Amino acid sequence: MSEPVVFNRRDFLRLVGVGVAGAAAGCAPPADKLIPYLVAPNDIMPGVAYWYASTCTECPAGCGVLVKAREGRAIKVEGNPKHPVNLGGLCARGQAGLQGLYDPDRIRTPLRKEGGAWKAITWDEALQLASSKVNAAATGRRGITLMTGHVTGSLQRLAREWAEGGSASHMAYEPFAHESLREANRRTFGRAEIPDYDFARARCVVSFGADFLETWLSPVGYARGFAAMRARRDGAGTFVAVEPRLSLTGTNADEWVAIRPGTEAILALGMAQVILAEGLAQGADRGALADAVSSFTPDVVAQQTEVPAETVQRLARLFASQRPSLAVAGGIAAQSEQSVALCAAVNLLNHAAGNVGETVRFERGVNFDGVASFADLQKLIADMTRGAVEVLVVHGANPAYAAPAWAGFPAAMDKVPFKISLSGVMDETTQRCDLVLPATHALETIGDAEPGRGVHAIQQPAMQRVPTFDARPAGETLIAIARGAGFGDRFPETWAAYVKARWQPMHQRFGAGRDFDTYWGATLEAGGQFEPGQAAAVRWSGTPAFAVPELKGAGDLALVLYPSTSLFDGRGANKAWLQELPDPTSKVVWGSWVEIHPETAAKLKIAQGDAVKVETEAGSVELPAYLYGGLRKDVIAIPLGQGHSAYGRYAEGRGVNPAALLSPAQDGASGAVAYLSARAKVARATQAADLVMTQREKGQFGREIAQIIPIAAILGGTANGHGAAEAGGHHEVPPSQTKLGKHTTPLEPKPGARTPAHAITAYEPIHKARGPRNNPIDKGSYARAEHRWAMAIDLDSCTGCSACVVACSAENNVPSVGPELVKRGREMMWIRLDRYEESLEPGRVDVRHMPMMCQHCGDAPCETVCPVYATYHNPEGLNAQVYNRCVGTRYCSNNCPYKVRAFNFFDYAAPEKATFAFPEPLNWQLNPDVTVRNKGVMEKCTMCIQRILEAKGIAKDEERPLRDGEFQTACAQSCPTQAIVFGDLADDQSAVHKASHGERRYWVFNELNTKPGVTYLKRVRRDAGAVQEPTHG
Amino acid sequence: MTRALAFVISAAALAAATVALTQPTWPPPYAAKGPQQPIAFSHELHAGKLGMNCLYCHSSAEKSPIANIPAVSTCMGCHKMVKADSPEIQKLAGYFERGEPVPWVEVYAMPAHVKFNHKRHVKAGIACQDCHGPVQTMPVVYQYPSLRMGWCVTCHRANLDNPKFPASMDCLVCHH
Amino acid sequence: MADITYEPASSPEDVGASEHVPATVTQKSLNADILRMLERPGKIWWGVFLLDLLILAVALVAERNQIVMGIGVAGHTRPVMWASYVTNFVFWVGIAHCGTLVSAILFLFRSHFRRAVYRVSEAMTVFGVMTAGLFPIIHLGRPWFAYWLFPYPNQRQLWPNFRSPLEWDVFAVTTYLTVSSIFFFVGIIPDAAVQRDFAKNRLHRLLGAIFSFGWRGSNIQWKHFYGAYLFFAAFATPLVLSVHSVVSWDFAMAQNPGWHSTIFAPYFVAGAIFSGVALVINLLIIIRKGYRLEHIVTLDHMEKLAKLVLLTSTIVGYSYLCEFFCAWYGPSVYERDLFWWRFFGHFWWAGWIMFTCNVIIPLVLWFKSVRRNMAALFVIMLFVNVGMWFERFVIIVGSLAHLFMPSNWGVNYKMSWTEAAILAGSFAWFGMYFLLFIRLLPAFSIAEIKETLAPPMRKKPS
């Protein structure tokens, strides 16, 4: 076995040895003392993991994270359970933040553009140049603009102060700035901000296009709340999705209302009308509201939205009766020319149903204060075009890619004489700059954030700056420029000092008598200072006018552009994990696709994977077709986020950027870009494109793999599930072996004989069944074993978000192999999200998402066939895979009914090979507790054996038994909805034991008698409309 | 005659090879010469004559899966005073001044697919010498055991049902 | 001693049975005919041999590339983790079957037509196993660790997994190679002696000397010879059935639809003999034509072999139908889907090639005229072997691509050039040995054919 790449001792010394010795010797800038989470301040000890609380910066939601550092380098990001925003979960993009930190294409030194080519220069030269330019512009008042991304906390403040000092202007650009939502709230509630949406409290949710489980505002937190709502057994928990394209969020709905694109507002008003007309409304100003919406009778609505009047009434009654309910507007629906109208309409609906102050609270919603609207960007573009901007400083924003082509940002930017970028990567905007002062990545930078009002979060570096990249914190650079330009005296020397200074007032308020350093330390440890939110009372202030947006263009297909679940607005595109993460809808990787309804496609003679040309009056793109039944027949959809012309090896030249299809269109009231504004034509194209899919068949072909159970069966059921059986939802398929006569009927265990831990399964008959596994052993590891590691996966909570997939890859050093190999079915992921589309018909939609990983079978088919015992059953019930024993017959994979084993077809671990998957410094992320597999060996889910061993070690040291839930597998930990429960099946009190014995449990392919260690809980089918009344409890 | 001889010889060779190759302790411990280290540090002096505790420098051996190589500052703790003028210590001081780590040469190289946990073994009361040999007598440290799998397994097998610290025979414990 | 001239028996009839060589063959002419094959090879032989080596070289390059790059250069994919290599393995093991059948079983059954053909088929057996044995190693992800499959004492204190069918293969194949080689070497002893005594050049005489183990043809030697031969025949017979049964369990022991079937052992054995005899016929047709030995390997011999092919073809066909019936009649939805898919899914063509070549085309062998028409026979037998290769392909790829998990059904297996080169190379490897064999050792059993000659009579003194 050749030596796989691991982070060797030299690198470690480079990071730590030097730090320690150097600090002692007094040379090299002493790093800020890092305060490990739950560990006393300490010099870093090799082999021991330290956790640092920080804040995720991959999207504006600002989830709290814990960063795991080993040997002085960050190797894993997990959600912070104590953080109010995400309560422990973390999405795929958050997990992938690490690959941003170690991105091999990060800029390594300050760069200056000379004659179109980049030239490396020193920091002193760079800062010198920058400050002189800024100084000149500032003194001459010739216009400086500081453009940042969505920034909060100290950086936002610094940006403001910097702008003031330099008589510059600051704008925070965010592609999805939710201007319309904020504007609508201003008009209807008098507060231009984003409220809290309390999904957990809602008894019923209606979403008007908001993909709140994917990218909308704060998806992780919302998903957690949504799961809580779904878990209720009191008849509540219905979710209706109103959208022309069935999004991932929509697949979790009980009913899909395939509405005419752009007319969502009308439906909302129609529902409000019914509620008011039928006197189901709450609140004083009912009369006024009733007048406002009186014209939107069900028939009018039906005629405009193509939603049957009956449905409108049913939804309205459901919405009003299941109080508090919750309606949200967002996503593509809230990005039309009438998006403010939609948001206002939904506000009205919530208001009428009395949800405001209940599930919609102006408390600590996602913080978008100070984020510029698209109109502001246009103003900047205008200024730049007419030469009113002398110096442009960009940090953390990429408008050259993200802003729609028609806005003409690149052209305008080129008119600016001097452009400085503080970006860490060479993205489209940075490419256009004249000077690059590379900024450090959030995971190696001190800072803070305020993702929600009263949520004062710390952004703590988990490691020293990655030596490969000579970068500096953006704040530090800004301060340096300011000082050089002569207006920096107001700022302290360093960025760290600036951040601390901002926390002085916090110390005043929350210090509780402790001195600042103690308080600061405690805050770093906790990840921030979290105030309880105070709900602000709001009153209905005026109903705006409502209208339906007109779609432009000659085509007969409405064009829907939506942010990609994994790449968001494109900022995830430079991360291999996210590129290779199968899209939850199409299961496509490494590229773009256009979704077309099968019938529409048939008309156009387009087959799955055909190259097609999508044309609008603004332009055209060529990309492969994906036939998707979850669309209206008059709609096509394309995800945003691909089609980068720069931004690193993983992003460049993959797919297309459909924003090019947009012609000028924006919301009149808020100025937001109208992504839903064009009609398109679709035709076959010549140039063949690859549609690289990890799952081709999305049907079950009558095999009960992902099962459902009607809610009635549960509510009417008793503990043993008989009621369920009567309700026709619940029946356990017994393994064939238990049906085959006397030799295979379950045997009673001998008196006194206990089933060895490794033979325990949740399936009782099997528990006692015969077979070598069940003969108790009196000596050795197998006799001693006390645990049977197992999982329970709740298909009702699983939203298909795929966070677990990336979490697993990060924890277990799973390589990304690239499109060519994925096309040949060689993806390496240990856990996959299977998607089964039982019914995509508008109305009751039935899509089942199913995480599928090694089932750790009690009688595993893979084990018996391995000729060298490379895979075997371990004393604690794990199906073990010993990489260095594997000779690569691949028989185990052939014999695995679940097909969860991945084979190393090439050498992904050898730096000298072309197939190397961890180009320096990506290999720094590798988990030192997990072997990096070589060419020719099989690998698969180990239930994070390294975590099991670590936890057992800690328990041994403390001379106590393992506690249930004291550690989790990577997938279970990251799951935003906690759909995956991991634990010890041998412990009757453990969560997994309870879950595995519930009435919804079943096993995939149980009839094969593999005795899986993974128990699935059936997805619950609810009936939207007909309200379930609990029959008991 | 010659045929018979050839047969006997080859048979004997085969037998010898079989016996040798199946010995977990084969190849035998290296001759007592380790690699040339950047600084002529003598375990014989420190651990032997001065009788320093191993854990004084390799402190993480009982706290962590990995036994640490002491930071230069640890050495300088004493050697700021002790024998500060000897040429070797000068070298050491040099590294310290420059803030460089000493590029010690690795003696116990473990393949990447083996995960050995020092802490567990130390806590089980296994003396350092049991595996590392009489370090206190080694002027230059050399690899004492064969470090082959059979060498580990033999000991684990012997302690399989050790009442106090039962060893595990589960492959996953070391290979994951 | 007065010179004795021998004259042949007047006509074949008075000796009788049709599997005898024509009366024109005398002891002397027979020696001459067989030894003539050893003479300085002509251009054709050299041409074929060099081409063969060339192909082999290409295959070696491909194999090296595969070892360096990884098994990924072959077309395997999840879920199709076995493909052409395992197909080749089963194919060649199958080829290797007919030899022992003809030489051992037919010997025990005293069916004398084997005399003219058994040496060729035995040689084919030995070389066939030597070829087959390479593929389990070639298809490994880490072939350099193949020796881990052997239960030898090692310092790791580890055993292989004796529950694994692949482990059984190790024993089955090695045993078969040993026994069939011994059988081959024993049978050749008296003929090697003839070569030793009558061959023209030294090399051939030397080889004769080596392989004849000091044979003098004394009575006692003949006695022991036949004793040993009988013993090995009896010893080898069960192997004919066991080896391919074990190979079939590589699949039958797995639980995959299309594999998990009790019929596999007999089904595979029949298929093996089917393909084996077919290849023997092909080889014999070439040799008897190339070396003008039609009078030694007569049409009757060929026809009898053809009948054997016809018989096994019907058995194989019956097995196919059986499988389909079970799939249709049985309870398993997986099995039903699979068998439908095999013939109407993505790999439908493979399924139909298999069925046509193995079941439909051999039907023409019911006609005597076809059985005795060498050209026709040659073509049919080629079809049979193509069909049998595809049978294994269908069983392996045609199952793996369509198992339990619809989400994982994969139709993206494509044979890569590496696989193609190694497949061609396997034929070259086999061919190399065979070409050398017919040049270096008597390819026909002189001793046994002589048994059918009329006893030499002294001329009546006139």
Q: What is the ipTM of this complex?
A: 0.91
pLDDT tens per residue across span A238-247 = 999 999 999 9
- Residue A741 touches partner B, C-beta closer than 8 Å: no
Q: Which residues does chain C have with pLDDT short of 70?
A: 1-21, 456-462
Section B137-159 average pLDDT: 90
Q: Does A878 touch chain B (CB under 8 A)?
A: yes
Amino acid A89 reads: G
What is the least distance, in Å, from the CA of B131 to any CA of chain C? Answer: 18
Using the Cβ of B68 and the Cβ atoms of chain A, whether some distance falls under 8 Å is answered with yes
Averaged over A276-294, what is the pLDDT? 85
Smallest Cα distance from C163 to chain B, Å: 19
Closest Cα partner for A881 from A858, A900, A863, A859? Answer: A863
**In this complex, how many residue pairs, one in chain B and one in chain C, have their CB atoms less than 8 Å apart?**
24
State mean pLDDT over A707-730: 63
Q: What gap in Å lies between CA C279 and CA C276, rounded to an integer?
A: 5
Q: Is B101 on the interface with A (CB under 8 A)?
A: yes
Predicted local confidence at residue B15, as pLDDT: 86
Q: How large is the average pLDDT for residues A545-564?
A: 90
Give the mean pLDDT of A575-593: 95
**Chain B: nearest CA to C150, how far in angstroms?**
14
- Give yes or no for residue A1031 having a pLDDT over 70: no
Contacts of A1008 in chain C (CB under 8 A): 255, 404
> CA C392, CA C83: separation in Å to the nearest integer?
9
Mean pLDDT over the full length of chain B: 86
Which residues of C, range 131-160, sit inside 8 Å of A by Cβ? Answer: 139-143, 145-146, 148-149, 158-160
In 3D space, the residue among B2, C308, B176, C174 whose CA is nearest the CA of residue A884 turns out to be B176
Residue B157 at interface with chain A, using a CB cutoff of 8 Å: no
Mean of all residue pLDDT scores within chain A: 88
B24 in contact with chain C, both atoms CB, cutoff 8 A: yes
Which residues does chain B have within 8 Å of residue A949's beta carbon, measured at their own beta carbons?
A: 117, 172-173, 176
The pLDDT of residue A493 is above 50: yes
Say whether pLDDT at A391 is over 50.
yes
Cross-chain residue pair A874–B170, CB shorter than 8 Å: yes
Report the percentage of chain A scoring pLDDT > 70: 90
Contact with chain A for residue C76, Cβ under 8 A: yes
Task: Find chains touching chain B: ≥3 CB pairs under 8 Å.
Answer: A, C
Please tell me the distance from the alpha carbon of residue A181 to that of residue B24, in angstroms, as a whole number.
71
CA distance B89 to chain C (A): 43
Q: How far is CA A716 from CA A710, A999, A1006, A1029, B50, in A?
A: 10, 12, 26, 10, 78
* Cα of B6 to nearest chain A Cα, Å: 35
CB A855 within 8 A of CB A1004: yes
**Within an 8 Å CB–CB cutoff, is residue A27 touching chain B?**
yes
Q: Does B145 touch chain C (CB under 8 A)?
A: no
Taking the CA of residue B15 and the nearest CA in chain C, the distance in Å comes to 12
Mean pLDDT for A965-994 is: 95
pLDDT at res. A1006: 87
Q: H-type helices in C259-298, by residue range?
A: 264-290
Provide, rounded to the nearest whole percent, the portion of chain A with pLDDT above 90: 74
Task: State whether B169 and A780 contact (CB < 8 Å).
Answer: yes
Most confident of A4-13, B68-77, C53-62: C53-62
Residue A109, pLDDT > 60, answer yes
CB A204 within 8 A of CB A318: yes
Nearest chain A CA: its distance from B116 CA (Å): 10
Q: How far apart are CA C81 and CA A891, in angstroms?
A: 8
pLDDT number for residue B84: 86
Specify whether the CB–CB gap between A847 and A251 falls below 8 A.
Answer: yes
Pick among A14, A15, A20, A866 to test the B interface (most B CBs inside 10 A) = A20
| Min Cα separation C211/chain B (Å) | 18
Q: In the numeric block, which tokens belong to residue A125?
A: 């030269």
pLDDT at C361: 96
Q: Can you tell me the distance from the alpha carbon of A839 to that of A844, in angstroms, rounded to the nearest whole number? A: 8
Helix, strand, coil percent values for chain A (each to nearest 5):
30, 20, 50
B110 touches chain A (CB under 8 A): no
Please, which residues have CB within 8 angstroms of residue A437's CB and are 6 or more apart in sequence? Answer: A110, A123, A126, A127, A130, A420, A421, A422, A472, A477
Task: Decide if pLDDT at B29 tops 70.
Answer: no
Mean pLDDT of A432-453: 94
Phi-psi region at A1027: left, alpha or beta (left = phi > 0; alpha = psi -120 to 50): beta
A740 pLDDT higher than 60:
no
What is residue C34's predicted lDDT score, i.e. its pLDDT?
A: 87
Chains in contact with A, where contact requires at least 3 CB pairs less than 8 Å apart: B, C
Q: Do B71 and A17 touch (CB under 8 A)?
A: yes
Interval A517-538 mean pLDDT? 89
Whether C166 and A891 lie within 8 Å, measured CB to CB: yes
Residue B144 touches chain A, beta carbons under 8 Å = no
Average pLDDT over residues A901-911: 94
Name which residue leads in pLDDT, A204 or A140.
A204
Of A697, A866, A934, the CB nearest to C409: A697
Chain C hits for B157, Cβ within 8 Å = 157
All residues of chain A having their beta carbon less than 8 Å from the beta carbon of residue C407 are 695, 697-698, 705, 832, 834-836, 852
B23 and C155 within 8 Å at the Cβ level: the answer is yes
Instruction: Check pLDDT > 70 for residue A35.
Output: no
- Give the pLDDT of residue A26: 31
Which residue from A852, A867, A895 is facing C256, i.e. has the nearest CB? A895
Confidence of residue A723 (pLDDT cuts 50, 70, 90): very low
CB contact under 8 A, B154 and C153: no
Q: How confident is the model at residue A16 (pLDDT cuts 50, 70, 90)?
A: very low
Least confident range from A827-836, A944-953, C18-27, C166-175: namely C18-27
Interface test with B, best of A7, A71, A781 (most B CBs within 10 A): A781
Decide: A882 and A934 in contact? Cβ < 8 Å.
Answer: no
Query: With an 8 Å Cβ cutoff, are B150 and C155 in contact?
Result: yes
Span B11-19, mean pLDDT?
84
Mean pLDDT, rounded, for A819-846 = 93
Share of chain B above pLDDT 90, in %: 39
Of all residues in chain C, the one with the smallest CA distance to B23 is C155
Asked whether the beta carbons of residue B60 and residue A45 sit closer than 8 angstroms, the reply is yes
Nearest CA in chain C to B150: C156
C155:B18 CB<8 A = no
Closest Cα in chain B, distance from residue C78 (Å): 23
Which of B58, B64, B72, B176 to mutate: most A Cβ within 10 Å?
B176
More confident residue, C454 or A216: A216
Determine the pLDDT at residue A469.
94
Percent of chain B whose predicted confidence (pLDDT) is above 70 = 92
Mean local confidence (pLDDT), B79-101: 87
Distance from CA of C108 to the nearest CA of B (A): 37
pLDDT at C456: 67
pLDDT band of A766, cuts 50, 70, 90:
very low
Q: Residues A950, A929: contact at Cβ < 8 Å? A: yes
Q: Which of A123-137, A677-691, C357-371 has the lowest mean pLDDT?
A: A677-691
d(CA A791, CA A788): 10
pLDDT at residue C451, rounded to an integer: 81
**Chains touching C by CB (3 or more pairs below 8 Å):** A, B
Q: Which residues contact C80 (CB under 8 A, 6 or more apart)?
A: A825, C397, C400, C401, C410, C412, C413
pLDDT at A29: 34
Query: What's residue A456's pLDDT?
Result: 94
Whether A957 and chain B come into contact, CB under 8 Å, resolves to yes
Chain segment A321-350, per-residue pLDDT in tens? 998 999 999 998 899 999 999 999 999 999
